[in-house]
Amino acid sequence: MSGQNPYLIEFGGLEDGVHEFEYTVDDSFFARFENSIVQHGEIDVLVTLEKEPGLLMMDFTFNGTITTTCDRCLDDLEVELEGYNELIIKFGQVSPEETEQSEVDIITLPVREHELEISELIFEYISLQVPIRNVHPDDENGKSTCNAEVIKEMEKHLSNTPPDDHRWDALKNINLN
């Protein structure tokens, strides 16, 4: 690993076999990426690299929590993330056609390459584990644990049904069959 960039793995100098790299990514890590869906969190990442002649196999295992916004009440919400991803790195000539058509879990690097910067890979793997919908869980009685004041205000506005708009009455009688 490079002393200047902890996410730079210099595999050219490693012996064949298994090597492990441990990281803890936090707020400062996520701040490096523009428009990140994750702004706050602490996640432990274990990268296992198995080096073979002409091939690298990498396993990314991560576990931790992020803080995001509840989609319902907009309060902070802590979400646990756990994930595992595999990446295979081959060496050879890289043509533009291969780059565009390559699979997500296989990367081809030029033969002369001797290092790999993995911060973007870690960021992408973590970002893909963030749930699409983030809402406070219900308690044991089935009641929402969201901010009660916000939910009350929201229900007040949702319960008001708009008055009937009679301009659309003529369209209600159209038979579409």
For 132-156, the pLDDT digits (tens) are 999 998 888 888 888 889 888 888 8
Q: What is the CA radius of gyration of the chain?
A: 25
* Full domain range(s) for residue 95: 8-159
For residue 62, the cross-strand partners are 45, 83
Does some domain include residue 168?
no
**Domains contained in the chain, number:** 1
Does some domain include residue 166?
no
Token reading at 88: 């295979």
Does some domain include residue 69?
yes
Structure confidence by residue, pLDDT tens digits, 3-35: 588 999 999 888 999 999 999 999 999 999 988
> What values do phi and psi take at 128, rounded to 5?
-70, -20
Beta pairing class for 40-52 and 106-109? unpaired
What mean pLDDT is predicted for residues 58-75?
93
